[in-house]
Structure 1
């Protein structure tokens, strides 16, 4: 386990940014010291590496959060896309260097601006983002967040995580208990209002995603305590089976 200071020194990410990633649910701390300082394990560092690769490719935090929380997220596929984008950026830089060296050698101005064209990079990045969001639900989400700032969208994600984390304090109850089921309804309504129409089918899929392992499960359990993701999933399963 590494402290937030150690992670900051290792990665070059500021402590303030790490705190922000934790607050919006993008990279929750794995645990905390007795003094309350954040701690990160190897899984969290792997997750941070994914975030930084996407940031290096100029993806917004909004896009990164959407991609990494997508139930269809495939780490190997994402890495292939990232490698291809980095290669395109490398070629772009090499073209710029060649142009600058040629200009230096000739001592004049070369009327060739093709080295400045970044359209191929933009097109590939747009295609990669589209692959992770080509669903009616995502299109609805884009419409609902079109006028929101990145900070507002991130805050919305934090509110969603708070609703899910609340299941952690209900684990002594039966998943079918009225209070627990009311919390599931609250979750469904919040998603429908702020993200996309959350049918019972989609809600059920989300419940399965919560226990699929990886960063998403870890994020929920970090926010609500051990077992939160599993309990929330059970409560959602009951809701989808019994709710009218």
Structure 2
């Protein structure tokens, strides 16, 4: 779908979608030869997640950090968002009841205690928001770093050498196509290494990690040290790999 079609479908402005693209929150999967942004089904699914979190009061930068976290899981996020929205609905129902009772109190129909006048107001941090930040925020990065610190010096050196070897192999392929057989065989090595040594990465999490390689300057700088443009190449190759694997799993 083109950007205007997405804007009309969702009910948001084209300018908003441009802004999401500019900050790396929602980057369309394709851009046509004439410069039109083309949004895929995956883009629309991601936009739904973004808007749910936005409706729940999350800042855009926090949403970006969470949805591109390697550990992000869409179904898990929907489950949590449902809990948060139910809690919000309960709170709104309480506030509506407070308003109605206050109106009756003003007309002299009922009496209200001071406590009743403020029923439904909530100023404490949402527990589900804390949970979301814990699952997909900085805590996940800290956990990964903690796992690495548990390795011996020899194990860390061996892992670093194995990682560097894959980076170098991919750097030699970066002038080609990310979807090529050679690139996909090598990017699978990266997927397997991460799952064996770092943590559990779903296909969506692997794709999200690839997006971080181009969204986060620290990742880009470190990866591009092996060859300019490698971060972008890896990000695209990881997206292709993840989508193909999900398609094959669905076909089975």
| Range into which the TM-score falls when normalised by the shorter chain | 0.5 to 0.7
Contact 2:52 2:81 in 1 (8 A): yes
Change (3 A) 1:116 1:5: same
* Length-normalised TM-score, structure 1: 0.58
Structure 1, 4-13 or 100-109: larger mean CA deviation: 100-109
Deviations 1:108-149 (A, max 9, x none): 573221321242x623312321222324638x9xxxxxxxxx
Deviation of 1:18 (Å): 0.9
Q: Determine the C-alpha separation between the residues in 2 that align with 1:85 and 1:9.
A: 27
Shift of residue 101, structure 1, vs aligned partner: 1.2
Q: Which residue of structure 2 aligns with residue 82 of structure 1?
A: 81
Structure 1 gaps of 5+ residues are: 141-166, 174-199, 234-244
Long gaps (5+) in structure 2: 146-170, 178-192, 215-230, 242-252
Q: Pairwise mapping of residues 59-138 of structure 1 onto structure 2 (< 5 A)?
A: 59-106=58-105, 107=107, 110=112, 111=114, 112=116, 113-119=118-124, 122-133=126-137, 134-135=139-140, 137=142
Q: Is the 8 A contact 1:3 1:37 kept in 2?
A: yes
Query: Structure 2 vs 1, CA of residues 68 and 101 (structure 1 numbering), >3 Å: closer, same or farther?
Result: same
Listed one character per residue, the Cα deviations across residues 35-74 of structure 1 (whole Å, up to 9, x for unaligned) are 2111111111011000110111111122111111111112
Question: How many aligned residue pairs are there?
Answer: 177
After superposition, the CA RMSD in angstroms is: 4.1
Which whole-Å CA distance do the structure 1 matches of 2:207 and 2:94 have between them?
Answer: 39
1:34 alignment partner in structure 2: 33
Change (3 A) 1:230 1:86: closer
Q: Kindly report which structure 2 residues correspond to 1:224-243, keeping only aligned pairs within 5 A, or say none.
A: 224=232, 228-230=236-238
Matched-pair contact (CA < 8 Å) for 1:211–1:230: no
- Contact kept? 1:92, 1:118, Cα under 8 Å: no
How far is 1:24 from its partner?
A: 2.3
Offset of residue 209 of structure 1? 8.0
* Distance in 2 of aligned mates of 1:7 and 1:168: 38
Q: Which protein has the larger Cα radius of gyration, Structure 1 or Structure 2? A: 2
Distance 1:37 1:227 in 2: 21
**CA deviation vs aligned residue, 1:88-114 (integer Å, no higher than 9, x gap):** 110111001111111222325732213
Higher relative contact order (CA 8 A, sep 6+): 1
Partner Cα distance (1:48, 1:60) in 2: 15
Q: 1:135 to 1:38 in 2, by over 3 A?
A: closer
Aligned to 1:115, the other structure's residue is in SS state coil
Name the CA shift for 1:211/1:97 in 2 (closer, same or farther; >3 Å).
closer
